[in-house]
Amino acid sequence: MAQGRGWEGAVLRLMRAKDFTLTVTGGEDVTPDYRRLHLTDGGLLAATGIHPTMWIRLWFTHAGKPHQRAFTLVDPDPAAGTFSLEFALHEGAAADWARAAKPGDTIEATVQGTGFERPRPEPSHVFAVVDPASLPALNSLLDEFRSSPVTVWYEGSPDGLPFHTDPALHEVRHVPRRDSGAHLVERVRQELPELLRDAPDPYVWITSDTATTRTLASYVRKDLGVPRQRVHALGYWRAT
């Protein structure tokens, strides 16, 4: 199954990644810019189990070459062997495939690298820095920590996927993308320190572009002194 995937596929094979074939069962346009596809999992959930923010790699062909992109599972159901995936409908092989996908179509998926380490003690407050690429993962996180206050800095247009927020506990601060993420960094630097003073057991979750994520993760750990085990940082895409 992993043959013909180039160096990425070779590396994943060496890391004992698991491969599965997914089958499309239906789809819907959540917004004009996002399409949700429903799939059977080909045994994936039974083999791997599930955890919050779980993601998989899908394989596409672009310009005749193999090409993989990561997507967060939406509403995984191990008993039924199903889940959904949400696609931003911009230019690219993944969006093109999602637009054209119909029931019965299949796609290869690989599971390697995903994980979730639950913070202990439970968060007194969750602070999340996200953008449209990581919004499905944020929603999974919000579903997991339903009783914790959450403050979200969201870099992007408010006219995107719906947030799984509870107005009584969750606050979303919309931040326009400016200066390749520098504006987001500045907003977090201005606002997070004061919020941390009232959070004895914070959990900071940073999933923006790679450069922004690295900058903020370093700031939170080194300048603000949040313990490494209370910070999750993963770059979801690389600005070019």
Domain boundaries, the chain: 6-111, 125-233
d(CA 176, CA 93): 26
Q: Say what the pLDDT of residue 13 is.
A: 55
CB distance 15 to 110 below 8 Å: no
For residue 208, which of 117, 112, 106, 128 has the smallest C-alpha distance? 128
Residues 104 and 37: beta-carbon distance below 8 Å: no
The residue assigned the tokens 């394989």 is: 59
Per-residue model confidence (pLDDT) at position 162: 86
What residues of the chain score a pLDDT lower than 70?
1-16, 240
Instruction: For domain 6-111, give its CATH number from 2.60.40.10, 1.10.10.10, 3.40.50.300, 2.40.30.10.
Output: 2.40.30.10
Tell me which H or E stretch contains 183: helix 182-196
Terminal-residue alpha carbon distance, the chain: 31
User: What fold is seen in the domain 125-233?
Assistant: Rossmann fold (3.40.50)
Annotate 57-73 with b (16+ C-beta within 10 A) or e (fewer): bbbbeeeeebbbbbbbb
**pTM to 2 decimals?**
0.86
**Model pLDDT for residues 124-165, shown as the tens digit of each residue:** 999 999 998 899 999 999 999 999 999 999 998 877 788 998
